[in-house]
Structures are given as structure tokens and as C-alpha cells.
């Protein structure tokens, strides 16, 4: 493992590909537990003059519980690899077992924040805002079909540091 610090602008792949097609992991630590979950909805962009990520986490996720207890998290990108492992982390809850142990993915610390050794890019983020999805704002009514009352909490994470696996 050799991670070098880069700027988020140095990532040349499309954010849509990295998140939607390749999937990402969101990793957080609280109460002495580090857990990771797969996300394929989200974004990388700019808000309030800061480079940020946007993640959308349903309230029933263990990750939601952890994110409510910590301001730091990481978002890890795999550039098309590790789909089997990411599939596992998107189907199993950390409430029922350690997903790192189950998949062979390895939790490491970067800037004191849990990240993933096998990732191509680890983005260390600081939670700066959240907003609960309000169905009153659904102009396209079919959006409601994605929910069963479990509207996402949108977390906006300021990008603190970005690391590339060389």
C-alpha cells in the first residue's frame, strides 16, 4: 500500500462512473466500531466554496447510526474493481458482523480516519451539513417509488484530503 496525497481535481474519471457504475464505500467509526457500506448514489462537487461529497443514507442503515455520532468519514472509490466485495458490503449490515473480516477488505487509517486499503482513491471527509429528503420536493412523482417512508438523509462532507493508491 502506498497512498499519495492528490487534489480531488486530479481524479480524471467521471464522478458518475466512479459512484454509479463502479460503486463506492462509505466508512465511519463510532463507539469503537468501524463499519463500511456500499453506495451508488451520491456526488462530488462544490458547495459553499468548498470541495464536497454528497452521500445519501437511509435511516435504517447502521452507517447512519455511526454517522450521527461522528463528524468524520471516508468515501472510497475502486475504479471498477472489487465488485464482489462491494456487493457484500451493500447487502449485509455491520450490525450483524464485521464486513472487513468477511470480505478481506482492510480498514486503514488516513488522517486519523478509517479508509480502505484496496481503494484506488480514499477521500477523507468532514460532515458539515445534513438535510433530510423531503418528499414535498419530488416534482417527478415516480421518485416516491424509491421509498417506503425511509427518506435519505443527505450528508454533505467537506473534502479534507484525497489519497490515491499508487
Are the CB atoms for 78 and 38 separated by under 8 Å?
A: no
Complex with ligand FMN: residue 61 or 120, whichever CB lies closer: 61
Q: How far is the CB of 15 from ligand FMN (least distance, A)?
A: 14
d(CA 19, CA 31): 28
Q: How far is the CB of 166 from ligand FMN (least distance, A)?
A: 27
Cell of 144: 416516491
13 by Cβ neighbours in 10 Å (0-12 / 13-18 / 19+) ranks as middle
Angle at 3 between CA 121 and CA 52, to 5 degrees: 40
Radius of gyration of the chain (CA): 15
Complex with ligand FMN: residue 7 or 97, whichever CB lies closer: 97
Q: Coil, strand, or helix at residue 9?
A: helix
Complex with ligand FMN: residue 3 or 89, whichever CB lies closer: 89
Complex with ligand FMN: residue 39 or 124, whichever CB lies closer: 39
Q: Which helix (H) or strand (E) holds 101?
A: helix 99-103
Q: How far is the CB of 61 from ligand FMN (least distance, A)?
A: 4
Instruction: Give the binding site for ligand FMN (CB under 6 A).
Output: 23, 35, 37-41, 56-58, 61-63, 87, 90-95
Complex with ligand FMN: residue 80 or 87, whichever CB lies closer: 87
The region, left, alpha or beta by phi > 0 then psi within -120 to 50, assigned to residue 15 is: alpha
Residue number closest to ligand FMN, CB atom? 90
Q: How far is the CB of 141 from ligand FMN (least distance, A)?
A: 21
Q: How far is the CB of 48 from ligand FMN (least distance, A)?
A: 22
Amino acid at each position: 500500500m502506498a497512498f499519495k496525497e492528490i487534489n480531488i481535481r486530479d481524479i480524471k474519471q467521471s464522478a458518475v462512473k466512479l459512484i454509479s457504475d463502479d460503486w463506492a464505500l462509505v466508512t465511519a467509526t463510532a463507539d469503537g466500531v468501524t463499519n463500511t457500506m456500499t453506495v451508488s448514489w451520491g456526488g462530488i462537487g462544490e458547495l459553499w466554496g468548498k470541495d464536497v461529497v454528497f452521500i445519501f443514507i437511509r435511516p435504517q442503515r447502521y452507517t447512519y447510526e455511526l454517522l450521527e455520532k461522528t463528524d468524520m468519514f471516508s468515501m472510497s472509490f475502486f475504479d471498477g474493481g472489487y465488485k464482489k466485495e462491494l456487493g457484500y458490503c451493500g447487502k449485509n449490515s455491520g450490525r450483524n458482523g464485521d464486513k472487513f473480516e468477511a470480505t478481506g477488505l482492510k480498514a486503514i487509517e488516513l488522517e486519523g480516519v478509517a479508509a480502505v486499503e484496496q481503494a484506488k482513491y480514499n477521500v477523507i471527509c468532514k460532515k458539515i451539513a445534513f438535510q433530510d429528503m423531503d418528499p414535498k420536493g419530488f416534482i417527478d412523482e415516480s421518485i416516491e417509488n424509491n421509498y417506503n417512508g425511509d427518506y435519505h438523509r443527505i450528508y454533505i462532507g467537506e473534502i479534507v484530503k484525497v489519497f490515491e493508491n499508487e
